């Protein structure tokens, strides 16, 4: 197990009279990507800012390489890089922005230019190097912000929901690029997001944060498969996202292995071997176990056990264990008619077209 690179201990942050953050112990290990996920207002940004030495907590301390940070935080800040939700670019050219952090550290001009060129290339903004930051699209600006952070060759990378302000296609493209860069550079990273799919995709470990407290830190399967408490379950169990392996793709039909269970999907493009499998709860049909085989157009029929029932307004979310965690959304009436309760044996069905596959490259 690699050592703790950056951590916090007994930290409390207050805003006014309320505690927005209360964490007794939290750390990110060297070379890992730790995704912090949770609902809005959970305190994730505050957590990240405390770790980045940008906010001083009312109590507690930050530990860098195991020793507490005392005195002037500047030398430590210079070993980290922080990317915010907004690009927050300076009023100069793209190149000027990417070089900004290097200039602050007194790096000689020629080296600044060389390193900036490399990272502008990596994030696909080399052609824009002379453009003023005022004339960039949202995606371009965020790429510049990322390049500006990576060019510093930081020991720790802190990313605060860097993609949530972007539209879906831009976000997809950027997540792909970031994923690749993180794999290549093996930088220690803490990545905050409210999007479970992003967390699963990029994180080696996932930390779930609710109400200013860290509820669970574990490998993705364990967080989604065995949530620590009701609130975590409610948060992660909003939809089904599980890792899987695509074993066969023929005539538009893909066979995917998920925790030993075989599923069929109908992807439009080839997602590669390692994938994340997503099924929307509305697409899952729950029925009593059938007597015998019958013909339906749905290609996936999975025997499952009800593990939890969560009421969500007029609907009900049924958390099933089908060999992997599966979430179904049904009406109250159906819940009553089927007489479902924890432990009930049912059959969950969904169509191949309801199974979404996202490429998921795992760290070697």
- Residues near other proteins, by CB under 8 A: 49, 52-56, 73-74, 77-78, 80-82, 84, 86, 88, 90-93, 96, 100-101, 104-105, 130-132, 134-135, 148, 152, 158
Minimum CB distance to other proteins smaller for 13 or for 302: 13
Q: Residue 14's beta-bridge partner residues?
A: 19
Q: Give the SS3 label for residue 28.
A: strand
12 token code pair:
């409390």
Minimum CB distance to other proteins smaller for 49 or for 240: 49
Minimum CB distance to other proteins smaller for 92 or for 180: 92
CA nearest to 329, candidates 321, 340, 318: 318
- Give least dist CB 135 to other proteins, A: 6
- Give least dist CB 119 to other proteins, A: 14
Note whether 190 and 157 are within 8 A (CB): yes
Minimum CB distance to other proteins smaller for 69 or for 309: 69
- Give least dist CB 145 to other proteins, A: 8
Minimum CB distance to other proteins smaller for 164 or for 353: 164
| Whole-angstrom distance, CA of residue 171 vs CA of residue 173 | 6
In 10 A of CB 130, how many CB atoms?
9
| Whole-angstrom distance, CA of residue 279 vs CA of residue 356 | 6
Q: What is the DSSP code string of 57-116?
A: -SEEEEEETTEE--S--HHHHTTEEEE-SS----SSBHHHHHHHHHHHTT--HHHHHHHH
Taken in order 151, 156, 162, 168, is the CA torsion positive or negative? positive
Residue whose pair of structure tokens reads 């390193």 in the numeric block: 115
- Give least dist CB 282 to other proteins, A: 37
Minimum CB distance to other proteins smaller for 134 or for 294: 134
- Give least dist CB 23 to other proteins, A: 19
Minimum CB distance to other proteins smaller for 93 or for 264: 93
| Whole-angstrom distance, CA of residue 305 vs CA of residue 322 | 7
Percent helix, strand, coil in the chain, to 5, is: 30, 35, 35
- Give least dist CB 139 to other proteins, A: 18
Note whether 306 and 357 are within 8 A (CB): no
Question: How far from chain centre, in Å, is Cα 106?
Answer: 34
- Give least dist CB 165 to other proteins, A: 12
């Amino acid at each position: 197990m690699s050592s703790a690179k950056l951590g916090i201990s007994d930290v409390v942050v207050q805003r006014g009279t309320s505690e927005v953050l209360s964490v007794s112990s939290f750390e990110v290990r060297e070379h890992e990507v730790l995704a912090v996920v949770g609902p809005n207002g959970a305190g994730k940004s505050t957590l990240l800012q405390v770790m980045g030495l940008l906010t001083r907590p009312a109590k507690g301390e930050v530990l860098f390489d195991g020793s507490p940070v005392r005195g002037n935080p500047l030398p430590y800040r210079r070993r980290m890089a922080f990317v915010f939700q907004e690009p927050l670019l300076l009023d100069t050219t793209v190149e000027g922005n990417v070089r900004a952090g290097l200039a602050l550290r007194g790096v000689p001009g020629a080296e600044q230019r060389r390193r900036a060129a490399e990272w502008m290339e990596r994030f696909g903004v080399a052609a824009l190097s002379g453009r003023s930051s005022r004339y960039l699209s949202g995606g371009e600006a965020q790429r510049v912000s990322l390049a500006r952070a990576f060019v510093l060759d930081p020991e720790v990378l802190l990313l605060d929901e860097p993609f949530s302000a972007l539209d879906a296609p831009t976000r997809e493209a950027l997540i792909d690029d970031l994923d690749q860069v993180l794999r290549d550079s093996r930088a220690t990273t803490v990545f905050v997001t409210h999007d479970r799919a992003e967390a699963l995709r990029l994180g080696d470990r996932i930390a779930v944060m609710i109400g200013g407290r860290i509820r669970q830190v574990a490998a993705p399967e364990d967080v989604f498969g065995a949530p620590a408490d009701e609130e975590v379950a409610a948060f992660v169990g909003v939809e089904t996202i599980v890792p899987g392996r695509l074993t066969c793709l023929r005539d538009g039909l893909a066979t995917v292995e998920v925790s030993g269970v075989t599923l069929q999907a109908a992807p439009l493009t080839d997602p590669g071997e390692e994938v994340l499998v997503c099924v929307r709860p509305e697409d899952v049909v729950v029925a009593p176990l059938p007597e015998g085989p019958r013909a339906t157009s749905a290609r996936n029929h999975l025997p499952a056990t009800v593990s939890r029932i969560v009421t969500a307004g007029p609907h009900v979310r049924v958390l099933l264990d089908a060999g992997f965690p599966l979430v179904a959304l049904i009406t109250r009436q159906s819940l009553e008619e089927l007489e479902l309760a924890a432990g009930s044996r049912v059959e969950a069905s969904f169509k191949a077209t309801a199974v979404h596959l996202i490429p998921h490259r795992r760290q070697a």
